[in-house]
Amino acid sequence: MGVAGGDERSTTERVLTLLGLLQQRHVWTGPELADRLGVTPRTVRRDVERLRKLGYPVHAGLGVGGGYRLGPGQDLPPLLLDDEEAIATAVSLLAGAGGAVAGAGDAALRALTKLDRVLPTRLRHEVRALSGSVEFFDGGRAPVDPGALMTLAGACRDEVEAGFGYPSGTGEVRRRRVEPYRLVASDRRWYLLAFDLDRDDWRSFRVDRMTEVSARTWRFARRTAPDAAAYVQEGVASRVYAHQARFLVHAPAGTVRAQIPASAAVVRPREKERCEVLCGADDLDFVLMRVLLLGHGFEVLDPPELVERCHALAERLLSAGTTASVVAPDTEET
């Protein structure tokens, strides 16, 4: 039994080594692979057939220039990476998660958490060190600790509680215990949508404000959650401010979305040529001017006192537009 187990293990290791070789180079001849693996060409043919049964499309060509090559398949099979390839891939994924590629942040983070789960400790330290050298000249997203980002992504995936330090409204940092649900990326920041266990409600948290992020082994039963992206966007654009306002704008939702950042307002389609805009500010005049500068007709839906501010603002604008009579300078006749 021990010999059989050892033979099975050595066969598996050899097949994985063969797969790694096929991923390194476009074409290998049978004798080249046999020499690398220390086996006969017949064993190479058997191992190639094992890979085919696992779903890897290994093609064999005859004659001059022929040999074994790994072709594209219908499904994405696992890749085997050496140390240098794993480090380069992880750092590139960190750059993608940081916002270097539009729309790639979420996918890059998912791939990064998968890679981080199987990365040897010695390589994980190198990746964390190298990630500190990745910056973006256009500002990018607010910098976050990649370790914190991966810890939170893993906690969301594994459905385990997480904890972190987070500043309160007074600036005091307090420990928060949450059931993490989703990480949401905006054009500037990463947010975590989570159920706050101490406040018994859903909350969104900025990842760049977190400290000492950790995941526990305590699993939780997933709750019915709000739409993560919509919840976070509404919170960023409206709920965090002293005043919230709703407007009916006489323009298509797509047109208005192109004029105002997602972090500044939530735009919801109403009819074909109109949309609802939800935004917030600490000053009602500011939020009013934001919608006014869009250049479309609009109506105030909420709050009622904003209607009075509209009239007051209109009077000020009319007053500013009233021109005094201009006296032409005297000109000397020649």
pLDDT of the chain along its 334 residues, tens only?
A: 344 444 555 888 888 888 888 877 778 888 989 999 999 999 999 999 998 888 888 888 876 556 898 887 656 566 677 777 777 777 667 656 655 444 456 666 677 776 776 677 777 777 666 555 444 444 455 667 777 887 888 888 888 999 999 998 777 899 999 999 988 877 667 889 999 999 999 998 988 899 999 998 888 888 998 888 888 887 777 776 778 888 999 999 889 988 888 778 888 898 888 999 988 888 888 888 888 888 999 998 988 888 888 888 888 888 877 754 444 555 555 4
HSE of 6, CA atoms in CB hemisphere, 13 A: 3
Q: What per-residue confidence (pLDDT) applies to 172? A: 87
pLDDT value for 48: 92
DSSP 271: S
pLDDT of 155: 86
Q: Cα–Cα distances in Å, from 138 out to 99, 102, 176, 306?
A: 10, 13, 32, 37
At residue 5, the pLDDT reads 46
Extract the tokens encoding 132: 């500190």
How far is 254 from 267, CA to CA, in rounded Å? 9
Q: What local confidence, expressed as pLDDT, does residue 117 receive?
A: 67
Residue 247 CB neighbour total at 10 angstroms: 25
177 forms beta bridges with: 163
Among the listed residues 204, 17, 229, the one whose alpha carbon sits nearest the alpha carbon of residue 103: 229
pLDDT of residue 118: 67
Can you give the pLDDT at residue 211?
92
Q: What is the pLDDT of residue 39?
A: 92
Measured CA to CA, the distance from residue 222 to residue 203 in angstroms comes to 15
H-type alpha helices, the chain: 2-24, 30-37, 41-53, 83-97, 105-118, 121-131, 146-158, 228-234, 253-257, 284-292, 305-321
